[in-house]
Structure 1
Amino acid sequence: MSGNRTAGVDLEDLRALVAEELELPLDDVTDDADLKNELDVDSLTAMEVAVQIEKKYRIKIDEEEIKTLTTLTVIHRIVSAKVGAA
């Protein structure tokens, strides 16, 4: 499913990963749902999500970038840029 990194990052695969890590239904993780304010994601949980993203896509997200992971759209843009640069 996500083995072909050159094809880019599939938004639905990323949504599924985030929803699974947050233990939320897929429908709750909308493109623009604010992780902190709407989905109650604290800094520790955000770091756990980042770690899973790093493992799946074989990228590195630094601490400052983790703070910017506010919506699925933002996460997708950052991950896509890093995967494309890898």
Structure 2
Amino acid sequence: MADHRTAGVDLEDLRALLAEELELPVEEVTDEAHLKDDLDVDSLTAMEVAVQIEKKYRIKIDEAEIPNLTSLTAIHRLVTAKVGAT
């Protein structure tokens, strides 16, 4: 299995993590689906998602960044930047 820290962040792995955490079918987690408006993610759930992402990718997501986690694309962009910076 590839090390996410060197291989980059696989969008499909991130999609699967998000779907699992939100208890949704993977197909519903489209690249541009808005977490709050389309997937009914509240602030507590967003924080739980951030914690799982931190654990998987060994990064730190600041509390102030959580409102920016609005879609899979936005999450992927943030995680990729943080993984690349470590």
TM-score, normalising length: structure 2: 0.96
**Corresponding position of 1:58:** 58
Moved over 4 A (4+): none
After superposition, the Cα gap between the structure-2 partners of 1:30 and 1:2, relative to the gap in structure 1 and judged at 3 Å, is: farther
Report the Cα distance in structure 2 between the residues aligned to 1:4 and 1:85, rounded to whole angstroms: 13
User: Partner residue of 1:67?
Assistant: 67
Deviation at 1:81, TM superposition (A): 0.2
Q: Which runs of 5+ in 2 are unaligned?
A: none
Matched, 1:5 2:18: no
CA offset digits 1:23-75 (Å, max 9, x no partner): 00000000000000000000000000000000000000001100100000000
Structure 2 match to 1:14: 14
Following the alignment from structure 1 to structure 2, what is the Cα–Cα distance between the partners of residues 63 and 44? 11
Q: Name the CA distance, whole Å, in 2 between partners of 1:59 and 1:22.
A: 20
Gaps of 5+ in 1: none
Q: Given the two structures, how large is their TM-score scaled by the length of structure 1?
A: 0.96
| Secondary structure in structure 1 of the residue aligned to 2:68 | coil
Q: Return the letter of the residue paired with 1:37.
A: D
**How much identity, in percent, do the aligned residues show?**
78
SS in 1 for 2:44: helix
- Alignment size in residue pairs: 86
